[in-house]
Amino acid sequence: MGTGSRWHDRRAAIVVLDSLGVGALPDAAAYGDEGSNTLGHTAAAVGGLELPNLGRLGIGNITEVAGVPPVPESQAAGAYGRMAELSAGKDTMTGHWEMMGVITSVPMRTFPDGFPPELIRKFEQAIGRGVLGNKVASGTAIIEELGEEHLRTGKPIVYTSADSVFQIACHEDKVPVEELYRMCRIARELLVGEWAVGRVIARPFTGKPGAFVRTPRRHDFALLPPRPTLLEALHQAGIPVTAVGKIQDIFSGRGITSHRPTRSNDEGTSAVTELLASGTKGLIFANLVDFDMLYGHRNDPQGYARALEAFDRALPGMLAALRPGDLLFITGDHGCDPTTPSTDHSREYTPILVAGPGVKGRNLGTRETFADLGATVAAMFGLPTGEAGRSFLDELYGRS
């Protein structure tokens, strides 16, 4: 595949296994994450993982993974390595933005003591009702704690976490989802400047006290990237960008041509496979959020392991849909080690696995920034790679 071929002869698919870290970054101790290794510790906690397809791509070469031995570089079915996060922080948006060429120098603000009273007063005035909570909490725990009072009063439950988020939980029978989304849009308008947070998240739930269940109608209202990303460059060049899962929310729709919403990892994986098989052009960019939302944040290594093995079983179908010139990138956006006492994200390297017709077994080493991924996609489509990141496109085909 020569670098002079036209973009429409190529397709790229990026699949982000949300929170799949592969070892603590050198500065992890500053974030309270020294020693974290989401993949390695998950595998050890369950007595080993069955990941034959990811193993053939070289995931066992990146970090020690119980049950997944390393393969000789020349025998790997793809290229493999790990990427360091150059940005400050360890949240979803920072990680995804960096992949697409935007480095964040200042971490997004968090509110470990809850949100300022002045902000809450303005929010209550704008939505016409009081709120419950306003503290750091687990989403499932705070719903159990305050769900009954919410049903009685109609007051939304507001909470945050160690991430830069303002979350609003409402029972769908008490507050219609569209009304919850309206509240989130109001919060998004307020949460700028000194109060800026990365995401406002709608957290609808159903059920009865003692048996509340969050529904799939979560929606993220993200802060806009501070600068144009690769997605916008692709879109402006006439190259379609198809978002799968919460990618649409993470980039606030900027640079996205079409969007495929999903309710689970399985739906996301199936969507990528179907889009590739149907001949969808340009970039397919997917996030599989269950790893993070259902297992990492809930300290559930067994669930995390099952999700990894399910993705591995689906991977051959995705690989079979690749055509000459196509590349499939598999990576993460941060860590969320389910075996540590913390339920928060962890500051880790992320894996980079690349497969496609003609890709050589190659150790890509440790990349200095997630932006190397975006630079490689830009090079695929004949676009400038930008100031952030260095393309490894030639390395994939043994040209360097």
Among 207, 222, 237, which residue terminates a domain? 222
- Phi, psi for residue 248 in degrees, rounded to 5: -55, -45
Position 308 scores a pLDDT of: 98
Q: What does each C-alpha distance from 322 to 179, 208, 249, 277 come to in angstroms?
A: 42, 46, 27, 8
Domain span at residue 162 reads: 117-222
* Total tally of structural domains belonging to the chain: 2
Q: Are residues 94 and 14 in the same domain?
A: yes
**CATH number of the domain enclosing 289:** 3.40.720.10
- pTM (predicted TM-score): 0.87
- Domain assignment present for residue 183? The answer is yes
- Domain assignment present for residue 112? The answer is no
Residues 138 and 90: their CA atoms lie apart, in Å, by: 18
Here the tokens at position 117 are 């009273």
- Domain assignment present for residue 164? The answer is yes
Here the tokens at position 187 are 């919060």
CA atoms within 13 A on the CB side of 297: 17
Here the tokens at position 21 are 């870290």
Q: Are residues 378 and 252 in the same domain?
A: yes
Position 361 scores a pLDDT of: 96
- Domain assignment present for residue 83? The answer is yes
Contacts of 210 (CB under 8 A, 6+ apart): 144
Q: Are residues 339 and 229 in the same domain?
A: yes
| 365 DSSP β-pair partners | 81
Among 203, 222, 241, which residue terminates a domain? 222
Q: Are residues 312 and 391 in the same domain?
A: yes
pLDDT tens-digit profile, the chain (400 residues): 333 445 557 899 999 999 999 999 999 999 999 999 999 999 999 999 999 999 999 999 999 999 999 999 999 999 999 999 999 989 999 999 999 999 998 888 899 999 999 999 999 999 999 999 999 998 999 999 999 999 999 999 999 988 899 999 999 999 999 999 999 999 999 998 889 899 999 999 999 999 999 998 999 898 888 899 999 999 999 999 999 999 999 999 999 999 999 999 999 999 999 999 999 999 999 999 999 999 999 999 999 999 999 999 999 999 999 999 999 999 999 999 999 999 889 999 999 999 999 999 999 999 999 999 999 999 999 999 878 999 999 999 986 5
Position 9 scores a pLDDT of: 73
Among 222, 247, 275, which residue terminates a domain? 222
List alpha helices for 281-400, DSSP H: 290, 301-320, 371-380, 393-396
Closest residue by Cα to residue 279 from 8, 3, 7, 2: 8
Residues 289 and 148: their CA atoms lie apart, in Å, by: 28
Q: Are residues 231 and 360 in the same domain?
A: yes
Q: Are residues 195 and 235 in the same domain?
A: no
- Domain assignment present for residue 1? The answer is no
Q: Are residues 216 and 229 in the same domain?
A: no
- Domain assignment present for residue 110? The answer is no
Q: Are residues 251 and 218 in the same domain?
A: no
- Domain assignment present for residue 155? The answer is yes
Residues 102 and 236: their CA atoms lie apart, in Å, by: 17
Closest residue by Cα to residue 355 from 78, 129, 104, 140: 78
Q: Are residues 144 and 84 in the same domain?
A: no
Position 143 scores a pLDDT of: 97
Q: Are residues 139 and 249 in the same domain?
A: no
Position 6 scores a pLDDT of: 54
Q: Are residues 89 and 133 in the same domain?
A: no
**CATH number of the domain enclosing 123:** 3.30.70.1250
